[in-house]
Structure 1
Amino acid sequence: MAGTWEAAGRWRLRAGLLAMALLGGALPASAAPVLEQVVLVQRHGVRAPTQSADILARWTTRAWPSWPVGAGELTDKGAQVVALIATAMRNHYVQAGLLAAQGCPGQAVLVWSDARDERTRRSGRMMAQSFAPGCNADVTHLPDGARDPLFRRVGKACRYDPAELSRAVKASGPLVDPASARAIADVSAILRPQGPPLDPEASRLQVSDKSIRLSGPLAIAAASAEIFLLQYAQGLPAEDVAWGQAASPAALKPVLAARDRAVWFARQMPVVARVQGAGMARVMLETLSGQPRATAPAVGAGLKLLAFAGHDDNLSNMAGIFGVDWSLPGQPDKTAPATAFALERWRDPETGADSLSLRIWYAELQGMRALDPASVHAVSVPLPDCPGEAFCPLQTVRARILPDLPAGCGG
């Protein structure tokens, strides 16, 4: 036990020394933990709404603003937002000594995208080019349109436990909590200024061994709030962002409470996240542990950065699996376009022990709209295995998470 506390003390000391070094203080190179590998998932950039025109027309009689691309497709602005954050990540990891400042990274960087959607394939290309500028780097993925089990796998041998789901839903309190009820009222006033208002009590959650389905006012308010945020991030005129009624980050924050509540039940609740995100979490932890992987994405020796180009679902799944949550100063959406969940592996230069840290990379909403590099930040999030600590032993995290991941889920 004494050895454990001494080791933890050394990590706390070195974490403090590393923080001093990053702020400009002098530090012997051998004193700080060494960053050796990063595995991350970044959400695609700004996209057009995924809902059809018919569905949007059922929500409101108001005319929705037009988009420059088809439903669900990445906009040019969205691609630029991905590059904005990916470039900031590369610059940071160059400064941290993980990536080389010059030359092409070769096998040291691998970007793997969800093949099913244009927005993830294109976002992945932007990530690859940003992580390896000037190198003609490209993203890899399954054949276009293929369903990749690493991004979501439900069905066949991968099923929910309805009884466990029902217990978790009950333990989470009412489907519509006070914050989401207020959000539904606010969104209702925007969508239906002449009424009739959306009734929060009409919200429904249906679960089975294959699906979780939200319907009614909570689902409508959650999706509408995200559309309003996408309109703002895209740079639509203020009068077109929620028809001028939620045209600022401050005004968008309260309506996004409906989205937060919906995301909790549909993606982040641990019993849900472990099924949806098992494949990705397993590959992340196995890669960070140095385990080779022959199947796609193939992981071999020398890999410094593995990046998945995915969806907000994937970030929420990882939050649920790893048992973390976060808020982002200046960004009202916790899984906003191009936000990244990044696990970092650090090695103690004296003992050789490996530990993890977690960062969430994001852009402030106003900075996203303006494509301002100064708006990109990283928030450090403690892992629950080591409360209040900057680092957590890799084996401790593995021992908690891997046994709970369903064997039939993921690639």
Structure 2
Amino acid sequence: MIHPLRPLLLALALVSSTAAAAPAPVHGDTLEQVVLLSRHNLRAPLVSSGTLAEATPHAWTKWDVVAGELTTRGGVLEVYMGRYLGQWLRTQQLLPATGCPQASDFHALANSLQRTQATAQFFIAGAFPGCHVGVEQRRPLGTMDPLFDPVIHRDDAGFQRRALRAMQKAESQARLGPDLQVVEDVVEYAASPACTGRSHCTLRTGDSQFRAEAGKEPGASGSLALANGMVDALLMEDYQNATGTAAGWGRLHDDAQWQALARVRNAYQDILFGTPEVARDVAAPLLSHIGGVFADPQSPKVSLLVGHDSNIGSVLAALGASDYTLPGQREKTPIGGLLQFERWRGQSGEARYRLVYVYPTRAQLRDAVPLSDAQPPGRVELALPGCGEDGCSDEQFERLLHPAVK
């Protein structure tokens, strides 16, 4: 059974250690407001029942929390991220240098699932040790808040047909055949209970059935969806790093295998949530909310939103963000990573909006590295269409948000 490698008390003891260094302001601009859109941290995978449980002859790793819930190790990792960003925001003078934040300084809102609510609480424990800072929860625990629920909103047949065609085209262009073969070999799918009595039982491209129904998440069935579930479980096991040995029953031992698995995972997210029209529809509530936060003069200086990889992926696609890589990471939307929407104010008084991806590297996750000036998280500035190198003007930023909220 997987158990946390480091107790949570260790993380909490470290919140007062070395402060994180902040990047220098650009062209003398002053950081005025930040909205953080975060993916929850490390959770137990969903492999205990259903098709995934039967997809390998091996026993999936046992975890010490319920499937889908944040682990203690995930809490430790989130404390580290909260501590780092709390120090960064203080250096930028968005948060008080000492003491606890007021309502005008900071607000946290998380989806109403255990892993998202707990992630927000651990972030706060790292950022504001000893402070009583609440996390807003708008729905009963265990249910989806509509703000974070990545469902299709449009209910017209033309949109659904276009969405399905876009998903099918994206799957075809991904050319995942060799990568699916790697997944199949790692889990020994052909020898699994699911393949008993079946000839030519393989993971293959072209057998996916996609869904784009109003009120439901974009979905898929077939080899790609099954492989994505397997890869998710193997990635979580690798990040947990409980035994120090190779994940996947010792069968994942070289980088080429991991790169193949990551391509499956990234492509699955892009196919379902990354096609432009679907992304704009799915991400509309979040982009509208983020726009409203920046538009409201009563909004706090720092807002934390904790959701899911589907939220981050659809928001990036809806904004038309340029393709990117995250050095030190294989996933495009890694656990514990966040989009940092920044509003800067220049000496001329003009606002500029910038978008940055801040994320823990694979090594930082696997080794539970406390984040600091010496060991900062990854930070990648993302280019947005129609904006300059110094960011987006008010008008440009509004144009980016507008297609998502029609």
TM-score class, shorter: 0.7 to 0.9
1:267 is the counterpart of 2:273: yes
Deviations along 1:60-118, one digit per CA (max 9) or x if unpaired, are: 22211111111101100111122222222222222222222211111111111111x11
Tell me the equivalent position of 1:226.
232
Q: Among 299, 303, 307, which residue is 1:306 paired with?
A: 303
Q: Percent identity?
A: 27
How much does 1:348 deviate?
A: 1.5
SS of the aligned residue for 1:274 comes to helix
Alpha-carbon distance in structure 2 between the residues aligned to 1:60 and 1:140: 40
Alpha-carbon distance in structure 1 between the residues aligned to 2:73 and 2:87: 21
Tell me the equivalent position of 2:17.
none
Tell me the equivalent position of 1:82.
78
1:180 is the counterpart of 2:176: yes
1:54 is the counterpart of 2:50: yes
Tell me the equivalent position of 2:147.
150
How much does 1:124 deviate?
A: 1.1
Letter in 2 for 1:405: V
Q: Among 356, 359, 376, which residue is 2:356 paired with?
A: 359
Letter in 1 for 2:159: E
1:38 is the counterpart of 2:38: no
The answer on whether the counterparts of 2:44 and 2:63 sit within 8 Å (CA) in structure 1 is yes
Alpha-carbon distance in structure 2 between the residues aligned to 1:218 and 1:132: 42
How much does 1:152 deviate?
A: 1.8
Letter in 2 for 1:328: L
Tell me the equivalent position of 1:16.
none
Q: Normalization by structure 2: what TM-score? A: 0.83
Tell me the equivalent position of 1:8.
none
Letter in 1 for 2:210: L
Tell me the equivalent position of 1:205.
210
How much does 1:401 deviate?
A: 2.1
SS of the aligned residue for 2:51 comes to helix
Tell me the equivalent position of 1:166.
161
Tell me the equivalent position of 1:323.
320
How much does 1:138 deviate?
A: 2.6
How much does 1:353 deviate?
A: 1.4
Letter in 2 for 1:345: R
The answer on whether the counterparts of 1:85 and 1:361 sit within 8 Å (CA) in structure 2 is no
Alpha-carbon distance in structure 2 between the residues aligned to 1:109 and 1:276: 26
The answer on whether the counterparts of 1:238 and 1:247 sit within 8 Å (CA) in structure 2 is no
Query: Cα RMSD between the aligned structures?
Result: 2.5
1:276 is the counterpart of 2:293: no
Alpha-carbon distance in structure 2 between the residues aligned to 1:70 and 1:312: 20
Alpha-carbon distance in structure 2 between the residues aligned to 1:70 and 1:272: 31
Tell me the equivalent position of 1:66.
62
Deviations along 1:250-289, one digit per CA (max 9) or x if unpaired, are: 6422211111111112122222222222111111112112
Alpha-carbon distance in structure 1 between the residues aligned to 2:255 and 2:116: 25
Alpha-carbon distance in structure 2 between the residues aligned to 1:56 and 1:64: 9
Letter in 2 for 1:383: L
CA distance 1:69–1:250, change in 2 (3 Å): farther
1:114 is the counterpart of 2:79: no
CA distance 1:274–1:178, change in 2 (3 Å): closer
Alpha-carbon distance in structure 2 between the residues aligned to 1:395 and 1:119: 36
How much does 1:203 deviate?
A: 2.3
SS of the aligned residue for 1:228 comes to helix
Tell me the equivalent position of 1:376.
377
Higher normalized helix content (fraction of residues): 1
Q: Normalization by structure 1: what TM-score? A: 0.82
The answer on whether the counterparts of 1:239 and 1:247 sit within 8 Å (CA) in structure 2 is no
Alpha-carbon distance in structure 2 between the residues aligned to 1:376 and 1:215: 35
SS of the aligned residue for 1:40 comes to strand
How much does 1:45 deviate?
A: 0.7
CA distance 1:147–1:22, change in 2 (3 Å): closer
Letter in 1 for 2:124: A
The answer on whether the counterparts of 1:162 and 1:208 sit within 8 Å (CA) in structure 2 is no
Unaligned residue ranges in structure 1 (runs of 5+): 1-20, 293-299, 407-411
SS of the aligned residue for 1:198 comes to coil
The answer on whether the counterparts of 1:249 and 1:330 sit within 8 Å (CA) in structure 2 is no
Tell me the equivalent position of 1:136.
132
SS of the aligned residue for 1:258 comes to helix
SS of the aligned residue for 2:85 comes to helix
CA distance 1:236–1:181, change in 2 (3 Å): farther
Tell me the equivalent position of 2:194.
none
Tell me the equivalent position of 2:13.
none
SS of the aligned residue for 1:280 comes to helix
How much does 1:46 deviate?
A: 0.5
CA distance 1:46–1:249, change in 2 (3 Å): farther
How much does 1:240 deviate?
A: 6.1
Letter in 2 for 1:304: K
Tell me the equivalent position of 1:5.
none
Q: Among 125, 137, 146, which residue is 2:121 paired with?
A: 125
Letter in 2 for 1:208: E
Structure 1 stretches (4+) deviating beyond 4 angstroms?
21-24, 247-250
Tell me the equivalent position of 2:3.
none
Letter in 1 for 2:125: Q
CA distance 1:249–1:230, change in 2 (3 Å): farther
Alpha-carbon distance in structure 1 between the residues aligned to 2:399 and 2:278: 20
CA distance 1:248–1:120, change in 2 (3 Å): farther
Letter in 2 for 1:308: L
Alpha-carbon distance in structure 2 between the residues aligned to 1:73 and 1:379: 28
Deviations along 1:188-231, one digit per CA (max 9) or x if unpaired, are: 11122655321223222233344432111111112211211111
Alpha-carbon distance in structure 1 between the residues aligned to 2:341 and 2:23: 22
